[in-house]
Chains A and B, each alone.
Chain A
Amino acid sequence: MLKGRAFKFGSGISTDQIIPGRYAYLRSNLPELSKHAMEDADPDFICRVKEGDFIVAGSNFGLGSSREHAPLVIKMAGIRAILAKSVARIFFRNAINLGLPVLLCDTDSIDDGDELEISLESGIIRDVTNCRVIGFDKIPEIMLCILNEGGLLPYLKKHGSFDISSDS
């Protein structure tokens, strides 16, 4: 069970806003880079976020550049899951590869600051603050396998290659 505070964002948050290109020189210094997570979406985010919190967004979260540093700095900032109405495809795949759950659901009813409880196994998000329960879309099978192993590298260490048989 994951428990934390919701940080609410609008739609169309790009990976440029999540980790701006002007910090590219820090990409080989991830602890420093992670201090700039979400900076051009909310400059105060990094000061307020705590381990275990969630990002809750509108549609098309993570659009734009393929920079894996985007979900990486979000994870390093302490975020344990991203909830969004829709997510850009490269960002989604990158987040799963890092073991960061991305849950597609109707986020309209979740407000900034709401306390959430999330059970990945049962597919339920409980908004404790406004007493609502929301379900999220099933993650595609192969991505769920990767996520359950903790990311692409642990998955490959276990399987050796991509296992797309139906019982994987």
Chain B
Amino acid sequence: MGKTLAEKILSMRSGSDARSGEIVVTDVSLVFFQDTTGPLTLRQFREAGFDKPAASVRAAFFLDHAAPCPNRELADDHTFIRNFAFNNGCDFYDVGEGVCHQIVAELLARPGDVILGTDSHTVTAGGMGAFACGMGSTDGAIALGLGKTWLRVPESIRVLVSGSLPRGVYAKDLILYLIGLISADGATYKALEFSGRGLPTISIPERLTIANMSVEAGAKAGIFPSDEVTRVYLETQGRGDDFMALTPDPDAVYEDTIEIDMASTVPMVAKPHSVDNTAPAAELKGTAIEQVVIGTCTNGRLEDLAVAAHILKGKRRNPGTRLLVVPASRLILQKAIDAGYVRTFIEAGGIILPPGCGPCLGLHQGVLASGERCLSTANRNFKGRMGNPESYIYLGSPATAAATALRGEITDPRELIDIT
């Protein structure tokens, strides 16, 4: 019997014939930590009695959630992490380098890897053909010390995409549509595996957006095959040697198959306060928005900023709508400057935030006032997510966000994009 991508990768890394439902102990290729979950990890690492990280695992630390620090307590946490990384020779990405998931995808993730991170959006790396899974700080500490973890091999739900995304409709709309379809626990404990005739039309940046949000349907992993698209991306990053082709077996067994004709998708928005509370953007016309956020690990890549800049070029934001732009990495910010996008955002009345998580989790850099509504390209809209339980968060694509910033109300971007 053939294997799904999850079964193949876990078989490779555990040295066993891993099948859905079984428990395996697997090698970990990469384990990474961020600044709000890292300190607890390091204390548990010490408590567990480890001297140093296992030689077999690559470890990386990122200062991205509180970057730069809004207070002394988080600054002390940063010192703690910085010192550990330095003393143990771990990869380290300081304030301003960008969000962990973006850097992992750009520089570290390889097809066929088992990647763990103490952040639920670790699933983003599934866009690179890795089995990437979020865990808590203690599990992260043990993976750091042993170079291994235990996992139940998940059943896979196959998502077969056909056609291609129409003009004005993006990967974010596709994944919001899927989450609305299967609900916030529709894929709990499962791997979402993406394939289909339409797959070659989906770029790596788009795969990262889709994989990033797979956890919002409860998924353990969101995995794409490693194909020609992956190979070209790795070559452009100077990492051609990291390529390995990886596809599911034709006779792999899936728990369920969902077919999506991408040509029929439309711009989607997730309404407060759950990610599966979705509706077409067009149905929410008239909803006033006080803050727009474009960026984050979900939609902070150069391609995302390009889409938003195209809509905003030569125009100004609605006076009652703040516009925050948060690029996902330093590299992206640099390229966005070179391409003129940053000028466009500033001339539109926008604010450029440091590469990092920005206002996504309510820590700093754009906390909402009571009663305010925000349209964000991030991945979560739970009550209180952006720092105020009396505020309302809508999620959408960079195009929807840019159109909304111009009009001051939720706007289907196809009204502003020439779709002929």
- Please report A residues at the B interface, Cβ cutoff 8 Å: 12, 14, 16-17, 20-22, 24-29, 40, 59-60, 63-69, 86, 88-90, 93-94, 97-98, 140-142, 151-153, 156-157, 161-162, 164
Contact = CB atoms under 8 A, between A and B. Distances in A.
B207 interface: no
A140 B152 contact: yes
B23 interface: yes
A151 B146 CA distance: 17
A54 B312 CA distance: 51
B49 to A, nearest CB: 7
Contacts of B135: 66, 90, 93-94
B76 interface: yes
B385 to A, nearest CB: 5
A63 B44 contact: no
A138 to B, nearest CB: 14
A135 B330 CA distance: 53
Interface centre among A14, A27, A66, A162 (most CB of B within 10 A): A66
Nearest to A89: B189
B387 A21 contact: yes
A133 to B, nearest CB: 27
A88 B218 contact: yes
Interface in B4-51: 23-25, 36-37, 39-40, 44, 47-49
A9 to B, nearest CB: 13
Nearest to B388: A22
Given A67-B37, A97-B139, A142-B150, 9 more contacts: A14-B380, A16-B361, A17-B382, A27-B40, A27-B77, A28-B39, A40-B389, A93-B136, A152-B142
Given A66-B134, A68-B136, A93-B139, A22 B363 contact: yes
B188 A86 contact: yes
B417 to A, nearest CB: 32
In the complex, the 10 A-B pairs of residues with the closest C-beta atoms, listed nearest first: A68-B136, A21-B361, A94-B136, A40-B384, A21-B362, A25-B73, A14-B382, A66-B120, A16-B382, A162-B150
A22 B387 contact: yes
Contacts of B146: 161-162
Contacts of A27: 36, 39-40, 77
7 contacts: A29-B73, A66-B119, A68-B37, A86-B188, A88-B185, A93-B135, A94-B139
B361 A98 contact: no
B401 to A, nearest CB: 21
Contacts of A97: 136, 138-139
Nearest to B40: A68
Contacts of A140: 23, 152
A28 B385 contact: no
Contacts of B385: 14, 16, 21
Interface string B121-134: 01000000000001
B363 A60 contact: no
A28 B73 contact: yes
Interface in B53-102: 65-66, 70-71, 73-74, 76-77, 80
